[in-house]
Chains A and B, each alone.
Chain A
Amino acid sequence: MNKAKKGRAKVALSKPSEGASGLTGLWRLRRPVIDPAKCTKCHLCWLYCPEGAIARGADGAVWMIYEYCKGCGVCSEVCPSKSISLVKEG
């Protein structure tokens, strides 16, 4: 929490940082799993993920950051090659 500058009235502010809202991956009911054999590296999932919880490697491969992925399923829905499946969390 940012204690505003001295002499300024205080309101609740937060600094943007990784995981500013905690480990939101704990909310997940369904886990998106990528099949690397089917993935065409189009990066639509990376673009659509509302939480920035999909990472890209130098080779174009994508992977899920499960600490923060809430399991919304948008990635699976937009994937043109149907290479992301949603697996029920245990």
Chain B
Amino acid sequence: MIIATGNHAVSYGVRAARAEVIAAYPITPQTQIIEKLAELIQSGEMRAKYIRVESEHSAMSACIGAEACGARTFTATSSHGLAYMSEMVFWAGMGRFPIVMAVVNRTLAPPWSIWNEHTDMLALRDSGWIMMMCESAQEAHDTTVMAYRIAEDERVLQPVMFGLDAFSLSHTAENLELIDQEAADGFLPPLDPERLPVYMDPDNPVTFGNLLGPDKMMEFRHLIKEAFGRAKGVIEEAAKGLSKATGREQHGLIEDYRSSDAEVVILAMGASSGDCKDAVDILRDEGIKAGMVRVKTIRPFPGDEIAASVRRAKAVAIVDRDYSYGFGGIIGREAASYLSKKPLNYIAGIGGRDITVEDFRKIAEDALASAERGEPGIEKWWGMRGLEG
């Protein structure tokens, strides 16, 4: 057991996964991840090539090139860095390069902000990447290793990005159980370049990314759709496998917390889910049957799994730390399309504002009261303060 920040937990996960090429550009609050990796490589604790690049766009380009040469690659970014990288994020997704990336979730400016929000990552949800969100440093560490197993599985072969909340997870030091290297190696076999969709073999030269007309594009896109269909099973399988390898409970698509007999279920995501669990426990002690479902995987979206977990609840409160302007909370709206009853959508924690245990408790009570009054499908911006002062 060591003490490590969420960021360093990711770096140690990358070491355990034996990533071979790391190309990254620093940005608050991601910097610690790549600083630690540079340190591990410099000290000889990790055998990898670290490519210093001039931008996030180049970081992802370098990862694509390295992956095409058969190397296991890693990068990490955040917010504006991710936005700058976004063209190459699509190249990696549509090109089916099994790259793994950590995204430390941060608000996009203006006004300038370094604090937590999930909108940066969610804005890229149609880029062909598998997307996951972590709750704790431990989960960030374990998910790093799990991500490679999912990405490189021959039934999937799509890149994986996973999010960790700025500061509340990235910079908070917690107890961390490092994955035993032997267990990691058993769980995650070396990358087989021959299995890669694009493998740059000098003896058999190919061009990737050439012009493709409308006569075949749809068919290639449909292959990606099918890969995402298979990914659900692969993710659950990987979670089970890693649970066995580590002796720690791992979550694949969702985490179900005391929701089976709950009257009110909160759908939460990311680091604040821990506070949500505390709120559930407090409510249970007060005699209110509360539960939580945590979205671990965003793409492929676990809509059916969420629907099954909340089907008996009177009220479903979906907390979004993100927003799609002119539409609603992103997770709230996506989940709603799978639910028979309209959920309540709470927009909270925008721009890094805390979502406390007390907030979750009040949200659960508010949702229950709204459901009893028969007010379905309401969106509320939680804890608004006014602009004065």
Give chain B nearest CB distance to A7 CB in angstroms: 7
Q: Name B209's closest neighbour in chain A (CB-CB).
A: A12
Stretch in B191-199, B269-277, B381-389 with 4+ CB within 8 Å of A: B191-199
Cα distance, A2 to B207, chains bound together (Å): 10
Q: Which of A7, A9, A10, A14 contacts B206 (CB 8 A)?
A: A14
Stretch in B140-148, B210-218, B248-256 with 4+ CB within 8 Å of A: B210-218
Are B205 and A16 neighbours in the complex by a CB distance under 8 Å? yes
A interface secondary structure, majority: loop
Q: Taking the complex as formed, is A20 at the interface, i.e. its CB lies under 8 A from any CB of chain B?
A: yes
Q: Taking the complex as formed, is A88 at the interface, i.e. its CB lies under 8 A from any CB of chain B?
A: no
Known: A9-B154, A14-B206. A21 touches B211 (CB 8 A): yes
Are B157 and A9 neighbours in the complex by a CB distance under 8 Å? yes
List residues 3-32 of chain A with CB under 8 A from any CB of chain B: 4-5, 7-16, 20-21
Cα distance, A10 to B206, chains bound together (Å): 13
Are A21 and B157 neighbours in the complex by a CB distance under 8 Å? no
Are B207 and A20 neighbours in the complex by a CB distance under 8 Å? yes
Total contacting residues, chain B, CB less than 8 A: 20
Q: Taking the complex as formed, is B220 at the interface, i.e. its CB lies under 8 A from any CB of chain A?
A: yes
* Residues in A neighbouring B154, C-beta threshold 8 A: 7-9
Cα distance, A77 to B172, chains bound together (Å): 59
Cα distance, A9 to B207, chains bound together (Å): 16
* Residues in B neighbouring A20, C-beta threshold 8 A: 207, 210
Are B216 and A9 neighbours in the complex by a CB distance under 8 Å? no
Are A15 and B197 neighbours in the complex by a CB distance under 8 Å? no
Q: Which of A1, A9, A21 contacts B197 (CB 8 A)?
A: A9
Q: Which of B194, B205, B212 contacts A15 (CB 8 A)?
A: B205
Are A11 and B211 neighbours in the complex by a CB distance under 8 Å? no
Cα distance, A48 to B36, chains bound together (Å): 44
Known: A11-B95, A16-B205. A4 touches B210 (CB 8 A): no
Give chain B nearest CB distance to A66 CB in angstroms: 21
Are B95 and A8 neighbours in the complex by a CB distance under 8 Å? no
Are A5 and B95 neighbours in the complex by a CB distance under 8 Å? no
Known: A1-B216, A9-B157. A14 touches B194 (CB 8 A): no
Nearest 6 pairs of A and B residues by beta carbon:
A11-B197, A9-B157, A9-B197, A13-B206, A14-B210, A14-B207
Interface residues of B (CB under 8 A from A): 95-96, 154, 157, 194-198, 205-208, 210-212, 216, 220, 223, 227
A11-B96, A11-B208 given; 8 more Cβ-contact pairs under 8 Å: A4-B197, A7-B195, A11-B95, A11-B220, A12-B208, A13-B206, A13-B207, A13-B208
18 A-B residue contacts at CB 8 Å?
A4-B197, A5-B194, A7-B154, A7-B195, A9-B96, A9-B157, A9-B223, A11-B95, A11-B96, A11-B197, A11-B198, A11-B208, A12-B208, A12-B212, A13-B207, A13-B208, A16-B206, A20-B210
